[in-house]
Structure 1
Amino acid sequence: MLKRPRTTLWITLLALAAGALAWLAYDSFTARYLRPFDSQAAVFAGAGLRLPAELAGPGPIRVVHFWDPACPCNVGNQQHLGELVERYAGDEVSFYRVQKPGTHGPLPAPLNRLQALTTLPGSEQLPASPAVAIWDHQGTLVYLGPYSEGAVCNASNSFIEPILTALRAGRSINATNTLAVGCYCPWSNTETPR
């Protein structure tokens, strides 16, 4: 009769050990691969943002991607940006990128097609990234803000596709001052992470 309690004890100890190992594996996975999403509000105001002289004036629709290589929020929007480039790049829409001053690192290979801008007048006032600015065919800023609201960005929740579709159809847009909640990193080096 002593064998039954001893067997039960071993089964209980094995179950506890297996549970502890499963918890350690889960904890290690979440610490390494999952980042908490702390929703932050950001106010984007485009009053002082201008295209460089060589891009100003009439031309294609100009889309400028603002990015910080160290920002974990880029993961979700870079795939979406690649899809935008594949869908819209051509004679009518040109894509550019502005990297956060003082940072280093390349964009993923599919996004290397974005032309680099070393400066964009007024971009020092950008509150956070990732962000996007869009100028219409006349060279007028029509949108400044995030790609979407929320923790992830894709075509189903993006602000960009409807704007590009409207501009290509000749409709006017004016959304240069936006408030959005999402995953952002500060653009200024003096701010704390969002």
Structure 2
Amino acid sequence: MPRPSRKTLLTGLIALLCCGALLAAYQWFQARYLRPFDERAALFSGAELRLPDELAGPGPIRLVHFWDPACPCNVGNQQHLAELFEQFAHKGVTFHVVRKPGSTAPLPASLGSLEPLPQLPGSDQLPASPAVAIWDRQGQLAYFGPYSEGLTCNSSNSFIEPILEALAAGRTVNASNTLALGCFCDWQAGDD
């Protein structure tokens, strides 16, 4: 059997090094930028959650979206939130966003119509995101929890449309403590 030439060995060695470098780069990228997510349970308790003073009290229905720019669970949620804005903004609902502490990424274009807010009193206790809080016209917390249950969020499995419809019709809603199973990312600032 003939021995491989020096050129063949060199080419094979370069190919092997390139494959190793690509594998190392992929593992670095995955560890740095991709967060694993799966369906898990989260308990949302709105007992301490408050609106900032300038929004507190009677006024429009206020929806506050808790947004973590690095959370992969946002993929379907952002489209759903844009649809909620189109459907309910003309019904007297104002839309706001609170960014995860420590995050600096700009809002995506689909969320550009949301008014940014500072951290809300009590939002440091948020267990996970994506999450939403809704205050009624009297300034009472009506709902605090996820948009839906499960790995994806859309209008067919969302809790939000029925709550906003009820509040817009003047009915009372009190669902400020919620246990849900879904796609969530940790909210606390050090949980990246």
Normalising by structure 2, report the TM-score: 0.79
Following the alignment from structure 2 to structure 1, what is the Cα–Cα distance between the partners of residues 41 and 58? Answer: 33
Following the alignment from structure 1 to structure 2, what is the Cα–Cα distance between the partners of residues 119 and 188? Answer: 12
Q: CA deviation at 1:118?
A: 1.4
- Is this contact kept in 1: 2:68–2:129, CA < 8 A? yes
Partner SS for 1:171: coil
Partner SS for 1:90: helix
Following the alignment from structure 1 to structure 2, what is the Cα–Cα distance between the partners of residues 151 and 140? Answer: 29
Q: CA deviation at 1:90?
A: 3.2
Q: CA deviation at 1:38?
A: 1.6
- Is this contact kept in 2: 1:37–1:151, CA < 8 A? no
What does residue 82 of structure 1 align with? 82
Following the alignment from structure 2 to structure 1, what is the Cα–Cα distance between the partners of residues 37 and 132? Answer: 21
Gaps of 5+ in 2: 1-25
What does residue 185 of structure 1 align with? 185
Q: CA deviation at 1:110?
A: 2.4
Q: Deviations over 1:54-85 (max 9, x none)?
A: 00111000000001001111111000000000
Following the alignment from structure 1 to structure 2, what is the Cα–Cα distance between the partners of residues 39 and 104? Answer: 26
Partner SS for 2:112: helix
Q: What is the percentage of aligned positions where both structures have the same residue?
A: 68
- Is this contact kept in 1: 2:69–2:105, CA < 8 A? yes
Following the alignment from structure 2 to structure 1, what is the Cα–Cα distance between the partners of residues 101 and 172? Answer: 32
Write the mapping of 1:112-191 to structure 2, written as runs, cut at 5 A. Answer: 112-191=112-191
Following the alignment from structure 1 to structure 2, what is the Cα–Cα distance between the partners of residues 39 and 170? Answer: 34
Question: Which amino acid is 1:95 matched to?
Answer: F
What does residue 50 of structure 1 align with? 50
> Aligned-pair RMSD on alpha carbons?
1.9
The verdict on how the C-alpha distance between 1:169 and 1:175 changes in structure 2, with shifts beyond 3 A counting, is same
Q: State the 4+ residue runs in structure 1 displaced beyond 2 angstroms.
A: 34-37
Q: CA deviation at 1:42?
A: 0.2
- Is this contact kept in 1: 2:37–2:185, CA < 8 A? no
Q: CA deviation at 1:91?
A: 6.0
Q: Deviations over 1:29-57 (max 9, x none)?
A: xxx9x987521000000000000000011
Following the alignment from structure 1 to structure 2, what is the Cα–Cα distance between the partners of residues 180 and 91? Answer: 28
What does residue 95 of structure 1 align with? 95
